[in-house]
Structures are given as C-alpha cells and as structure tokens.
Chain A
Amino acid sequence: MLDIRDLTTSYGPVKALDGVTFTAPKGKITAVLGANGAGKTTLLRTVSGLIRPDRGSVHLDGQDLARMPAEKMPGLGLAHVPEGRGVITELTVEENLRLGGLGRADRSRPADFDRVYSIFPLLNDRRNAIAHVLSGGERQMLVIGRALMAEPKVLLLDEPSLGLAPRAVAQIFELVRGLAESDGLTVVLVEQNARSALSIADIGVVLNLGRLVAQDEATALAADVKLRHAYLGF
C-alpha cells in the first residue's frame, strides 16, 4: 500500500499541493478526483519523483520515496503512466515494452513479455509496429503494458480516459480493475471523468486547490450529491 502524509509541493509562492494525506490500500483502486488545477497531476508527479515536495512523506513497503529521483521508482516497485500517455512514438511497440522491462527490480528472471502480450493480445499483433501509428486506445494499452513490464506493486495512472471513445475507456477501466484484483496491484487513478472513475474505484479522494477535501469509499462519494456538484462536476 501507498501511504502519503502531509505532502506539500509549491510552484514559487503557489502551493499546488497542501498537506495531502491519504492511504491507497493494496489491491484496491483509489481514485483521485477534482477539477482542473486541483493538483491531481502534481500529486502523481510528486509521488513518482519528477517534482520535489516541500515536505511530507510517501511510504511504500516501509521506504520513504518522497525525495527520491524518478529514475529509482521502477526499481522500488512504482510505475507511473503519465498524462498524455507518454508513448515513445519513435520506438516500436516491442521496444517500448522492452524499455519498461529494463526498469524492473528483479533482474534474475527475463522480462515477462508473455504475460503482457496475453493481457493485451493487440500489442502482440502489432509488436513490430512503430508506436506512432497506434490509435489512442492502443497507445493506452501500450503504456499500461509497459508499466506492467516493470512488475510494479503500485501503478499511478494519470487520466487514462483522455481522448478515448467511451468503449475504449470502459475496456481500459475493466482491465485495470482486473489487474488490481488479480495481482494485488495498488492503483492510484487520477481522472477528470469522475463518474466513470468512481464506478470502478474502491476508494475516492477529492482534491480542491491542492487540499484534500473529501476521502471515502467510492460508493459513498458517488452518492453524495452536494459533494459531486461542488467538486466533481456531476
């Protein structure tokens, strides 16, 4: 599980994250919700080491990741699928996956392509295609597959539904749900599309202007109409 305490990050005088504290339980999906600019992406980028926090801690398996550089994260079991997906379009599908596998902690066994290809048969069909030619939904599968190649314990997903047709979104979400359940993967899912996110999440966390304003089981949040209107747009 991922234990975040008092995480605070500033851009100059502006606090993008202010004392955020919550725990993402193992094997469950924690949805991070809120309006644009609420700090959701900053949260993920701080956890994954791209941004240095002012203060606070991020504990995974007893280790504080808060001030570690991004390069160390895959080796510690944390994978981040960024906003905009982060496909390296000049490389092939298989090269993207292989790259993901290079970051895994346990180098005693070869990288597990078979597993990822069985989860995403489509990637297997297109393994030698240049990633540039993939559609949005296919790219999303590629980056999740790439993250899985590192055999992570924690998966951070930033707006996977962006730009995808509803059917593709549903597919992706179902897949993530399955991974959390079967692998005991701790998933932190940032989404603008709060309604869909809450439909597959176990826990929901709501940010507003960098602060955590609500934390509850997903079903409870989805039922709280006042909260939804105030912060979630539906």
Chain B
Amino acid sequence: MQQLLTTSLTGLTLGMVYAAFALALVLIWRSTRIVNFAQAPMAMITTYVALVVVDAGMSYWIGFVAALLSGLVLGAVIERVVIRPVEGKPEINAIILTLGLFVVIHAVAAIIFGSGFRSFPAPFGLRGFEAGGVTIALTGFAVFTICSVVVVMLLLVALFHHTDVGLKMRASAFNQEVSRMLGVKVTRMLTLGWALAAVVGSLSGLLIAGGNLVYPSYMDSVVVYGFVAAVLGGLDSPVGAVVGGLLLGLGLSFVSGYVGSDLVALASLAILIVVLLVRPAGLFSHATARTV
C-alpha cells in the first residue's frame, strides 16, 4: 500500500513535468507543424544558465527567472533564424533540422559547461511530509513542481483565450493565410509561439533538475517522454498534452517501481507504438481524419 501511494505520487509529480514538456511540443506543433526535438537540449542549456547564476552566489529564484528568460530569447532566436526557412517545406527538412540543433546545442553545452554531473538545488526541500507518523512521498519540491506547472497552464489559458495576442496566435495556428488577410503578422506570432514554448520547456528542465544531477544528456529521455505524452493526448490538443503527461508519468512510475527502472524508456516506446496502432490521433484530437 505504501509503495502504491509512493509510486502514484512520484508518477503524478513526474507526470506534471512531462505534461509541461508535452505542452511545449504541442504549442510548437500547432503553430508550425514541427515537432521540436531540440526542445530538450534547449531546456538543458537554460538550466545550465540557472546553474551558473546559482553558483555565482545568487538565489535560486534569480537563477529560475534567468533560465526562463533565456528560454524565451532562445526560442525566439531559433525560430526566427533557423526554423523560419523550412516552415512550409517538406516536413523531413524540419525534422532533420531540429535533430541537427539537438546535436549542436548538446555539443556546445558540453564544451562550455563540461560533461560532468552537477547537482542542482531544489527549493522547498526534498523531504516528504509527515502525517500521523508516516512519511508521505510528497516533498515540498514536488508540491512546488505541481503548483508551478498548474500556474503556467492557467496563465497560458488566460493568454490564449482572453487576450488579443492569444487570439492572433490561435488564429495563426489554425489558418495562416486567412489570419494574414485579417491583418495578423503571422510570422511574429510564430516566433512568439516558439518563445513561449521554450519558456515552458525551460520550466520542465528546471523541475527535472531540482534535487537531481544536471549533465548535457539529462533531458534527452524527457523529449521522448514528452513526445509520447503529446501523441497520447493528441498532438493538436493542449488539454491532451496535460492528460497524456499525467497518464504517462503514472504509467512509467509503475514500470520503474514494479519492473525495473532500466526498462522505462522501452515502456514508453511500447506505449507509443500501442497508441499509434490503436488510436493514432490521440485521446483528445479533433475528428479530422489524419494519416500518421
């Protein structure tokens, strides 16, 4: 019973982070029809920015903000400079391009920051809460993780559904040409979309790093899990990304706890295959028949 609870809580917390990452992928997919495989190293390198800030003696929160801001800038620059030329071209170009970015950012991080393992602070503590003499596997940091992801999601909902900019961004994602005809600077919206997605990705990076070790490859498996979660929920659906993330987090936590942590990646692959064979459009997608 205790293990069931622990596994579930761990899964839920991790699931929130996967949900955030999946959300970042979905944001970019919706606006530019590209799966940004480079999102993982982008998040990784912004976490290193935070690490540099923290190591220089400043508070975690300044590092936190620095990471998010650098994510914003990185996402905007990458879209504008690297991705813009392949938008609208055959999708294989964009895939290879993001993979190339993946490798480049990895190597740059390793050169600048080294390949060694570094520890990363976790605010609010890493000890479980005590309740009636039993320690619940919910740490202060886990609560912070869940809350911050929820806050970000609420902010995004507010942005997209209650602001003019949000409306323009949604319109650009749904129908670029008509949006242009209505006066929307679609290219600017795309840049903004990538910038926001990168911020969300950076948040995931910080949350995964908290209390764990940071090294250039530490986010690599997260891009796989985020992708699986996004596909599970439906690549077009932000709600789906969140639900998919939670489900995947729970599922993988159970695999890790009851089978073996080595097989988690394989389990995610298996889940992906099953989803793509049974319901390729994901749980929450709109009805339009789509080939996968």
Q: Which of B157-182 contact A (CB under 8 A)?
A: 164, 167-168, 170-171, 174-175, 177-182
B-facing mask of A132-163, CB < 8 A → 1, else 0? 00000000000000100010000000000000
- Given A50-B177, A86-B175, A102-B164; A150-B182 close (CB under 8 Å): yes
Size category of the binding interface on chain A? 20 to 34
Complex Cα gap A95–B175 (Å): 14
Does chain B have a CB within 8 A of A46?
no
Does B170 contact A75, Cβ atoms closer than 8 Å?
no
Does chain A have a CB within 8 A of B186?
yes
Question: Which B residues are within 8 Å of any A CB, using their own CB?
Answer: 164, 167-168, 170-171, 174-175, 177-186, 286
Question: Which A residues are within 8 Å of any B CB, using their own CB?
Answer: 48, 50, 69-75, 80, 82, 86, 88-91, 95, 98-100, 102-103, 146, 150
- 26 example contacts (A-B, Cβ-Cβ < 8 A) are as follows A50-B177, A50-B181, A71-B180, A71-B186, A72-B183, A74-B182, A74-B183, A82-B181, A86-B175, A86-B177, A86-B178, A88-B175, A88-B178, A89-B174, A90-B174, A95-B167, A98-B167, A99-B168, A99-B171, A99-B179, A99-B182, A99-B184, A102-B167, A102-B168, A103-B182, A150-B183
Does A88 contact B186, Cβ atoms closer than 8 Å?
no
Does A48 contact B181, Cβ atoms closer than 8 Å?
yes
Inside 8 A of B180's CB, which chain A residues have their CB? Answer: 50, 69-71
B288 CB to closest chain A CB (Å) equals: 10
Inside 8 A of B168's CB, which chain A residues have their CB? Answer: 99, 102
Inside 8 A of A48's CB, which chain B residues have their CB? Answer: 181
B170 CB to closest chain A CB (Å) equals: 7
Inside 8 A of A50's CB, which chain B residues have their CB? Answer: 177, 180-181
Inside 8 A of A150's CB, which chain B residues have their CB? Answer: 182-183
Inside 8 A of B178's CB, which chain A residues have their CB? Answer: 82, 86, 88
Complex Cα gap A24–B37 (Å): 51
Given pairs A50-B177, A88-B179, A99-B167, 13 additional interface contacts (CB within 8 A): A50-B180, A71-B186, A73-B181, A74-B182, A82-B178, A88-B174, A95-B167, A99-B168, A99-B171, A99-B179, A102-B167, A102-B183, A150-B183
A135 CB to closest chain B CB (Å) equals: 18
Nearest A residue to B164 by beta-carbon distance? A102
Complex Cα gap A88–B182 (Å): 11
- Given A99-B171, A102-B168; A86-B181 close (CB under 8 Å): yes
Nearest B residue to A80 by beta-carbon distance? B181
Complex Cα gap A89–B178 (Å): 11
Does B170 contact A71, Cβ atoms closer than 8 Å?
no
Inside 8 A of B183's CB, which chain A residues have their CB? Answer: 71-75, 102-103, 150
A198 CB to closest chain B CB (Å) equals: 27
Complex Cα gap A146–B171 (Å): 13
Does A146 contact B182, Cβ atoms closer than 8 Å?
yes
Complex Cα gap A2–B185 (Å): 24
Inside 8 A of A69's CB, which chain B residues have their CB? Answer: 180
A134 CB to closest chain B CB (Å) equals: 15
Does A91 contact B186, Cβ atoms closer than 8 Å?
no
Complex Cα gap A99–B182 (Å): 7
